[in-house]
Structure 1
Amino acid sequence: MNTACTALIAEDELLLAESLRADLAELWPELQIIGMAAHGEAALEGALRLRPQVLFLDIRMPGMTGLEVAQALAEDWPDGQEGDPPFPLLIFVTAYDQYALKAFEQAAVDYVLKPVQRERLAQTCARLQTALQQREAASSVQQRPADSGAMDAVAQLRQLLAAPGVPEALGLPAASAKPLRLLQVSVGQTIHMVPVSDVIYFEAADKYVRVITTDKEHLVRASLRELLPQLDAQQFWQVHRSVVVRADAITRAVRDEAGKLSLHLRERPERLAVSRMFAHLFKGL
Structure 2
Amino acid sequence: MPTALIADDEPNLSAELASRLSRLWPELEIVGQPRNGIDALAELGAKRPDVAFLDIRMPGIDGLKLASLAPYVRVVFVTAYDEYAVQAFEASALDYLLKPISDERLQRCIAKLQRGGWTPPDAATLAAACEARETAPIRWLTVGLKDTTRLVSIDDVLYFQSTDKYTEVITAQQRHVIRTPLKELLPRLDAERFAQVHRGVIVAYAAIDRVERDLLGRLRIHLRGHTDVLPVSRAYVGLFKQM
Q: TM-score by structure 1 length?
A: 0.45
SS of residue matched to 1:263: coil
Change (3 A) 1:260 1:15: same
> Which residue of the other structure, out of 203, 206, 225, is the alignment partner of 2:156?
203
Structure 1 position 143, deviation (Å): 4.7
> Which residue of the other structure, out of 105, 111, 122, is the alignment partner of 1:140?
122
Change (3 A) 1:218 1:49: closer
SS of residue matched to 1:262: coil
Change (3 A) 1:11 1:262: same
Q: Give the corresponding residue for 1:100.
A: 84
SS of residue matched to 2:4: strand
> Which residue of the other structure, out of 10, 14, 17, is the alignment partner of 1:17?
14
Matched, 1:263 2:189: no
> Which residue of the other structure, out of 33, 50, 53, is the alignment partner of 2:50?
53
Matched, 1:109 2:62: no
Determine what percentage of the aligned residue pairs are the same residue.
34
Q: Partners in 2 of 1:202 and 1:19 — Cα distance?
A: 38
Q: Partners in 1 of 2:113 and 2:124 — Cα distance?
A: 20
Higher gyration radius (CA): 2
The letter of the residue matching 1:203 is D
Structure 1 position 202, deviation (Å): 5.5
Q: Give CA deviations for 1:219-259 in whole Å, capped at 9, x if unaligned.
A: 6xxxxxxxxxxxxxxxxxxxxxxxxxxxxxxxxxxxxxx79
Q: Give the corresponding residue for 1:230.
A: none
Q: Give CA deviations for 1:28-80 in whole Å, capped at 9, x if unaligned.
A: 00001111111111111222222212111111112211122223334xxxxxx
Change (3 A) 1:148 1:102: farther
- Greater relative CO (CA pairs within 8 A, separation 6+): 1
The 8 Å contact of residues 24 and 31 in structure 1, kept in 2 or not, is answered as yes
Q: Cα RMSD over matched residues?
A: 3.5
Matched, 1:62 2:59: yes
The 8 Å contact of residues 10 and 58 in structure 1, kept in 2 or not, is answered as yes
Q: Partners in 2 of 1:124 and 1:149 — Cα distance?
A: 28
Structure 1 position 96, deviation (Å): 1.8
Structure 1 position 204, deviation (Å): 7.0
Structure 1 position 128, deviation (Å): 1.4
Structure 1 position 116, deviation (Å): 1.9
The 8 Å contact of residues 59 and 92 in structure 1, kept in 2 or not, is answered as yes
**Larger deviation, residues 120-129 vs 16-25:** 120-129
The 8 Å contact of residues 64 and 91 in structure 2, kept in 1 or not, is answered as no
Q: Give the corresponding residue for 1:90.
A: 75
Unpaired segments ≥5 residues, structure 1: 75-86, 151-200, 206-216, 220-257, 273-285
Q: Partners in 1 of 2:68 and 2:45 — Cα distance?
A: 13
Unpaired segments ≥5 residues, structure 2: 134-153, 159-170, 174-186, 195-202, 207-243
Q: Partners in 1 of 2:67 and 2:90 — Cα distance?
A: 17
